[in-house]
Amino acid sequence: MVLYYKGKTQINFLGTKTIVAILTAVSLISLQLLLIQNPLEIYGSSSVDGSNNNVAFTAVVDQVGGKPVAIKLNYAHFVPLTNNTKLHQVKTIVLYTSNPSIMDLRRVQNAVMKVYALNGTLLRTTSYPNGLTLNATNGKAQLATTLMDSTIKNITASVVFTDSSKSANYSNVLSVNLGLGQIIQPEYK
Cβ atoms < 10 Å from Cβ of 114: 19
The dihedral region occupied by 7, where left means phi > 0, alpha psi between -120 and 50, and beta the remainder, is left
How many CB atoms are located within 10 Å of the residue 144 CB?
Answer: 13
Q: What was the pLDDT predicted at 51?
A: 38
What are the residue ranges spanned by the domains of the chain?
Answer: 2-35, 54-184
pLDDT of residue 27: 52
Q: What is the fold of 54-184? A: Immunoglobulin-like (2.60.40)
Max avg pLDDT among 35-39, 79-83, 89-93: 89-93
143: buried, middle or exposed (CB in 10 Å: 19+, 13-18, 0-12)?
A: buried
How many Å apart are CA 179 and CA 12, to the nearest integer?
A: 76
Q: How many CB atoms lie within 10 A of CB 172?
A: 23
Is residue 141 within 8 Å of residue 111, measured between CB atoms?
A: yes
CA trace torsion 85, 176, 162, 71 (10° rounding): 120
Nearest Cα residue to 115 out of 157, 75, 55, 77: 157
Over the stretch 84-114, which tens digit does the pLDDT of each residue have? Answer: 878 999 999 999 988 777 666 677 889 999 9
Cβ pair 107, 163 in contact under 8 A: yes
**pLDDT at residue 44 above 50?**
no
pLDDT in the model for residue 85: 77
pTM of the model: 0.63
**Contact between residue 2 and residue 132 where contact means Cβ atoms under 8 Å apart:** no
Residue 84 amino acid letter? N
d(CA 57, CA 172): 8
